Amino acid sequence: MRTIFSKEEIAEFKRHPCVFHVSERSIHYTYEFKKRALEMHSKGVSPKEIWIRAGFNLNIWKKNYAYSTVKDWERMVKKSGVDSLANLGGIQYDRGRKNKKELIKVESDKVKRLELEVKYLQAENDFLAKLRAKRAESNSGRARNTKSLES
C-alpha cells in the first residue's frame, strides 16, 4: 500500500530543505540530499539513521522506505553515474533522454541547491565575523610589549 500524505505533511515537506517537490502520493528529494545520503551510507550509516539525521519522521512511511530508497539511488548511480540522481522519481525515470519538463525541474533543483549553499555560506561568514570580532575584543585589552630593543 502506498503512502498518501496529508495536507499538513505536504506543507511540512515543502518547508524541508532536503525536499525538492512533494505531492499527495510522492516525494522528490534534492540532488544534494541524495548524494549526501549515499556518501553517508557508504560510510556505514543506516538509511533509517540518515532520514532521522535529516529531520524526517519515519513513522509516516512503510517500514523499509529509507532502505529501499537508498538502494534505488545506489542502482541508479551504478547504472548511470552520480548525475542520474538529478533525475526525478527514482528508477522509473532513470533513462538517458530527458524531456523539457524534467530539464526544467532539474534546473529548479540546481537553483534550490545553490540558494541553500548561499544561505549556509552567509551563516558561516556571519559566524566567522562574530568570532573575529570577539578575538579582536579580547586581544585589545592585553598589555603589549612596548619596550624598545635598545634597553
In the predicted structure, residue 56 carries a pLDDT above the cut 50? yes
CA gap 130, 150 in Å, rounded = 39
The pLDDT of residue 101 is 67
Cβ(27)–Cβ(34) under 8 Å? no
The pLDDT of residue 1 is 46
CA gap 123, 56 in Å, rounded = 23
Question: Which of 71-75, 101-105, 115-119 shows the lowest per-residue confidence on average (mean pLDDT)?
Answer: 101-105
Cβ(25)–Cβ(37) under 8 Å? no
In the predicted structure, residue 146 carries a pLDDT above the cut 60? no
SS3 of 33-72: the string is HHHHHHHHHHCCCCHHHHHHHCCCCHHHCCCCHHHHHHHH
More confident position, 72 or 102: 72
Instruction: Report CA Rg, the chain.
Output: 23
The pLDDT of residue 142 is 59
Q: Considering the chain, what is the average pLDDT of its residues? A: 78
Q: Which residue has the cell 541508479?
A: 76
pLDDT confidence tier of residue 92, bands split at 50, 70 and 90: very low
- What is the CA 81 to chain-centroid distance, rounded? 19
